[in-house]
Amino acid sequence: MSVTSQVKPDAEAIAVAAEALPRVQEYLRTHPQGPAIVQIVDDEGNELVVPRGAVELLARVLAHMANGHSVSVVPDHAELTTQQAAELLNVSRPYLIGLLESGEIEFRKVGTHRRVMAGSLMEYKHRDDLRRRVAADELAQIAQDMDLS
């Protein structure tokens, strides 16, 4: 499996994810402190033991699948090409290279090629999302102050 391979849900997968999501979310809501290890038992009594973090990640994956979105899991330590990184941010490759060269996202060079650590890319995405939310909140406040809402 490549670093950025995607699972694209079909209609059946979307329906199953939509049905499973509330149950997984309810479990996490009613067990906020753990346990650290979760046992999942199917109708035939077969057990599957997974870390709680995997269940939390599963809830996020199910939420995207239930909405019909493709899902990728990328380890933090994975090194991405600039094209893969640009696709994950949904920006052009030249725009991404500008972010790299300005120091917004850490990268290293392998010969003449740039490699971006997935963890560094996600940290940038998180910072950018926060900046966008703050800007949107400020605009909403300005609109409210000017009685434009």
pLDDT digits (tens, 9 = 90+) for 108-149: 999 999 999 999 999 999 999 999 999 999 999 998 888 875
Give the C-alpha separation, 139 to 149, whole Å.
11
Element (H, E) at 48: strand 47-51
* 74 falls within a domain: no
Q: Are residues 58 and 93 in the same domain?
A: no
Angle separating helix axes 118-145 and 82-89, nearest 10 degrees: 30
Q: Are residues 27 and 62 in the same domain?
A: yes
Half-sphere exposure of 29 (CA within 13 A, CB side): 6
Q: Are residues 47 and 101 in the same domain?
A: no
Q: Which residue has the tokens 């979760």?
A: 38
* 48 falls within a domain: yes
Task: Quote the domain boundaries for residue 139.
Answer: 79-145
Q: Are residues 61 and 104 in the same domain?
A: no
User: How many domains is the chain built from?
Assistant: 2
Q: What is the DSSP letter of 23?
A: H
Taking the complete model, does pTM exceed 0.75, yes or no? no
* 28 falls within a domain: yes
List helix spans (H) across 31-117. 52-66, 82-89, 93-101
Residues of the chain with pLDDT under 70: 1-5, 149
pLDDT of the residue at 26: 94
- Residue that terminates a domain, selected from 38, 66, 94: 66
